[in-house]
């Protein structure tokens, strides 16, 4: 009796299971046809016939709540868009997308068909290619509708736990009002969207970005060759959190494509050769939409935690034609086409070097700044912001050569077109012999001894000239004048008699001198308009140093040498 009872129960269960599976199969097949029609119709209706959705095949499993769509393509209809443009109701942003497959899991399919609600656990997109075109020439005079309002007639609500797009090819094209184009292409982008909710409540939620609780973009690397073909820019380890508006970059590198000798052959005239690497960059407060759609680069704060900057110039090459008027930092900032605001930059742990070759001997002179850092404030070219704060302020510190403690303050006017600026600074406790790697190569002068106790300077200027005051406190200055010829050890030979006269008559070996007041120089320097801003600052300081250290005989010796 028991065996017969169990047999009946098992047969009944099997029948129920077969019935459920059969019903599920029937509904899956039936609703697959409905889904086929509804997807295309919903896309067309919600976009006012602008977009067409096409795909190769769709798979639907009612029991598991999974949907698979193969070879998906979303295309804008160019004829419809042209008509919208003529009617002044064309959207400024148009999308084009394709993917090899879209896998949907954990979806409540019954809720979709009966209540027009999309509720799914995950969307996984494979091999997506997304093109975004922002046409600033378009005019849309129709009332603005949100994404939720556009979808509401066909989908009451849209909720997805996560959306993953791996290895995305992203192209953003901006067409400006003059019909010029700016194209940005990124490959290998990973997008991770979490907690996407499209409904009447979420569209008002300020904690969301594009209806999502979290929106992350990741890119392993981005390589870019500069338009002059002299450099490669490499950006590695990029991640952006749109909700937090934070961008992190592991490293930014600018590498010359040629070694120094080949670089000189390419450029043929004097030009700085840069090699830089900045590490652990963190940018906060970046509005992603403003960057993409309006080409505005606004940053609340940027941090740079380490790096190197090496600059090289061959003064043996002829000077380039023209001049560098209008190329001071504040002037270049105003010329940028992209609206820019970086409220604060904090940098630390950067090593900087500048190497220059003597125009005749080819000997390299090198100056080094170690563990440099500082704060940059109010870097902007936006007129409304400049009206509130018209100065860009920079405070820097570094170890000059090996021991010199250097601090400097820069004040750039953002309102004046002639490059008005002010600079002040201080150098303390430095062994003057550390400058020999510069003075021996570029000036044929060896500093045998010098204790720099303190150097204070301040100046004001513009793109034509600079003037200020300089106080240099030092002691025990002794130099040696050098010949161009070298001894058997490869060192430049000394001019014995010239060195003797220089120490006795051309220089003052300390400041203040015994029984005298501290000498304070008031240097003025008229800029060589083929040289840079930093050359003007350096030449003004050097003029004050010569006034402090030298006698009238030193100036005479300098003129004879020229």
What 8-state DSSP symbol labels residue 204? Answer: G
Q: Are the C-beta atoms of 164 and 128 separated by less than 8 Å?
A: no
Q: Specify the pairing of strand 129-135 against strand 93-105.
A: antiparallel
What pLDDT sits at residue 26? 39
- 84 falls within a domain: yes
- 19 falls within a domain: no
Phi, psi of 272 (to 5 degrees): -70, 140
DSSP labels, 271-339: --EEEEEEEEEEEE---HHHHHHS--EEEEEEEEEEEEEEEEEETTSPPPSS--TT-SHHHHHHH-SS-
Chain-centroid distance, C-alpha 265? 29
- 186 falls within a domain: yes
- 193 falls within a domain: yes
Per-residue pLDDT of the chain (562 residues; tens, 9 = 90+): 444 444 444 443 443 343 333 334 434 444 455 556 666 776 776 777 888 878 787 777 766 667 778 888 888 888 888 888 888 888 888 888 888 888 888 877 666 666 777 777 888 889 888 888 888 887 777 777 766 566 666 667 777 888 888 888 888 887 878 888 777 788 888 889 888 777 777 777 777 777 778 888 898 888 888 888 899 999 999 998 888 889 999 999 999 999 999 999 999 999 999 999 999 999 999 877 666 656 678 899 999 999 999 999 999 999 999 899 999 999 999 998 888 899 999 999 999 999 999 888 888 989 999 999 999 999 999 999 999 999 999 999 999 999 999 999 999 999 999 999 999 999 999 999 999 998 888 778 888 999 999 999 999 999 999 999 999 999 999 988 887 777 777 677 788 777 777 777 778 999 999 999 999 999 999 999 999 999 999 999 999 999 999 876 656 554 444 4
Assess whether the previous peptide bond of 512 is cis (omega < 30° from 0). yes
Is the full-model pTM beyond 0.85?
no
- 396 falls within a domain: no
Rounded Cα distance, 511 and 14, in Å: 106
- 208 falls within a domain: yes
**Distance between the two ends of the chain, CA-based, in angstroms?**
123
- 100 falls within a domain: yes
Q: Which helix (H) or strand (E) holds 202?
A: none
What pLDDT sits at residue 154? 65
Nearest to 90 by CA among 52, 130, 133: 133
What pLDDT sits at residue 151? 64
What pLDDT sits at residue 560? 47
Phi, psi of 556 (to 5 degrees): -65, -40
Cα dist from 404 to 129, 428, 439, whole Å: 54, 6, 16
Beta carbons within 10 angstroms of residue 337's beta carbon: 9
Q: How many domains does the chain have?
A: 1
Domain housing 149: 72-215
What pLDDT sits at residue 553? 61
Phi, psi of 505 (to 5 degrees): -120, -25
What pLDDT sits at residue 325? 93
- 155 falls within a domain: yes
What pLDDT sits at residue 482? 80
Strand ranges inside 381-464, DSSP E = 391-400, 404-413, 421-431, 445-461
- Tokens 């909720």 locate to 159
Q: Is the dihedral of CA 245, 192, 158, 56 positive or negative?
A: positive
């Amino acid at each position: 009796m028991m065996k017969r009872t169990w047999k009946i129960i098992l047969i009944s269960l099997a029948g129920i299971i077969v019935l459920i599976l059969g019903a599920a199969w029937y509904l899956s097949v039936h609703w697959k046809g409905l889904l086929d029609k509804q997807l295309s119709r919903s896309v067309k209706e919600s976009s006012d016939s602008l977009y067409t959705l096409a795909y190769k095949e769709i798979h639907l499993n009612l029991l598991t709540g999974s949907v698979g769509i193969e070879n998906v393509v979303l295309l804008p209809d160019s004829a419809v868009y042209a008509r919208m443009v003529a009617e002044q109701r064309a959207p400024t942003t148009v999308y084009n997308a394709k993917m090899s497959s879209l896998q949907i899991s954990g979806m409540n399919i019954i809720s979709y068909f009966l209540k027009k609600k999309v509720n799914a656990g995950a969307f996984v997109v494979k091999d997506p290619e997304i093109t975004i075109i922002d046409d600033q020439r378009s005019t849309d005079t129709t009332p603005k509708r949100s994404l939720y309002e556009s979808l509401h007639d066909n989908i009451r609500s849209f909720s997805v736990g996560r959306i993953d797009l791996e290895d995305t090819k992203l192209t953003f094209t901006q067409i400006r009002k003059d019909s010029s184009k700016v194209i940005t292409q990124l490959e290998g982008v990973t997008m991770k969207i979490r907690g996407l909710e499209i409904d009447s409540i979420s569209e008002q939620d300020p904690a969301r970005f594009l209806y999502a609780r979290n929106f992350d973009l990741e890119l392993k690397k981005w390589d870019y060759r500069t338009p002059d073909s002299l450099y490669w820019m490499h950006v590695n380890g990029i991640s952006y959190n749109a909700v937090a508006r934070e961008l992190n970059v592991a490293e930014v590198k600018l590498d010359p494509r040629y070694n120094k000798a080949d670089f000189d052959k390419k450029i043929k005239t004097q030009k700085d050769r840069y090699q830089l690497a900045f590490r652990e960059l963190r940018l906060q407060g970046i509005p992603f939409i403003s960057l993409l759609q309006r080409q505005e680069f606004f940053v609340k704060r940027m941090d740079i935690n380490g790096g190197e900057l090496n600059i090289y110039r061959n003064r043996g090459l002829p000077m380039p034609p023209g001049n560098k008027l209008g190329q001071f930092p504040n002037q270049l900032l105003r010329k940028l086409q992209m609206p820019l605001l970086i409220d604060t930059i904090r940098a630390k742990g950067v090593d900087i070097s500048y190497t220059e070759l003597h125009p005749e001997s080819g000997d390299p002179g090198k100056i080094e700044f170690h563990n440099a850092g500082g704060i940059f404030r109010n870097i902007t070219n936006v007129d409304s912001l400049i009206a509130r704060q018209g100065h860009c302020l920079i405070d820097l510190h570094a170890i000059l050569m090996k021991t010199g403690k250097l601090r400097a303050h820069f004040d750039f006017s953002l309102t004046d077109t002639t490059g008005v600026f002010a600079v002040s600074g201080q150098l303390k406790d430095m062994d003057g012999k550390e400058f020999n790697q510069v003075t021996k190569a570029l000036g044929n002068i060896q500093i045998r001894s010098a204790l720099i106790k303190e150097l204070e300077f301040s100046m004001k200027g513009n793109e034509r000239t600079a003037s200020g005051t300089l106080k240099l406190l030092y002691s025990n200055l002794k130099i040696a004048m050098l010949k161009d010829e070298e001894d058997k050890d490869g060192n430049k030979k000394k001019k014995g008699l010239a060195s003797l006269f220089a120490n006795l008559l051309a220089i003052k070996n300390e400041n203040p001198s015994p029984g005298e007041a501290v000498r304070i120089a008031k240097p003025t320097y008229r800029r060589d308009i083929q040289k840079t801003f930093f050359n003007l600052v350096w030449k003004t300081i050097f003029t004050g140093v010569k006034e402090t250290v030298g006698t009238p005989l030193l100036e005479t010796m300098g003129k004879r040498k020229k």
